[in-house]
Structure 1
Amino acid sequence: MAKVKGAVVVDIEKCKGCGICIDDCPTDTLAFERAVNGKGYHYAYMKAPELCIGCSNCAISCPDTVITVYRVKPERKKTS
């Protein structure tokens, strides 16, 4: 069975930096960015994108619904 890879997209300007998504990530993919958005909040970002499994826990738990998760099933290598 092929592993699913995920990608998390955070609407930076709407993120309030509550950290719920970071706490709910089972693979420790997310963290707070050192920079701040226009409202002065440290926003979430993918610190380790290679670890994301596309589980959507972060998007489900986000109280402001500013997270979108994409899933991609990697192509299988062809064997001759």
Structure 2
Amino acid sequence: MDAKNRRFWPEIDSILCKSCGYCEMVCPQQMFCRSGKVNSQGYDYMKVNEDGTCIGCLKCINICPDFVITIHENGSMQHG
């Protein structure tokens, strides 16, 4: 399913992500994984797993200590 046909789609600010991995731990849909790339802060930041299907539970937003995750929903969004 491509991103525009999804009901919910997470986005991570890769510049601010400190790679704590909490989003990966709490996501019931396995929407997050390490990018394998280093941001300007020196962290192997998290990225969105494009094969996953976000259910909009917002667990990732609630656990992210740096508020770097945004959940988009059919044109609107929830931000941590």
Which digits, 9 at most, give the CA deviation of each residue in 1:35-77, with x for residues without a partner?
11001101111113541112211111100111111123xxxxx
Question: If the length of structure 2 is used for normalisation, what is the TM-score?
Answer: 0.76
Please tell me whether residue 70 in structure 1 is matched to residue 77 in structure 2.
no
Q: Is the 8 A contact 2:29 2:52 kept in 1?
A: no
What does residue 31 of structure 1 align with? 33
Percent of aligned positions that are identical = 35
Q: Is the 8 A contact 1:22 1:31 kept in 2?
A: yes
Task: Give, in whole Å, the separation in 1 of the partners of 2:30 and 2:52.
Answer: 11
Question: If the length of structure 1 is used for normalisation, what is the TM-score?
Answer: 0.76
Alignment of 1:36-51 (within 5 A): 36-51=38-53
| Higher RCO by CA contacts (8 Å cutoff, separation 6 or greater) | 1
In structure 2, stretches of 5+ residues that fail to align are 1-5, 75-80
Task: Give, in whole Å, the separation in 2 of the partners of 1:58 and 1:23.
Answer: 9
Q: For the aligned residues, what is the CA RMSD?
A: 1.5
Q: Is the 8 A contact 1:7 1:49 kept in 2?
A: no
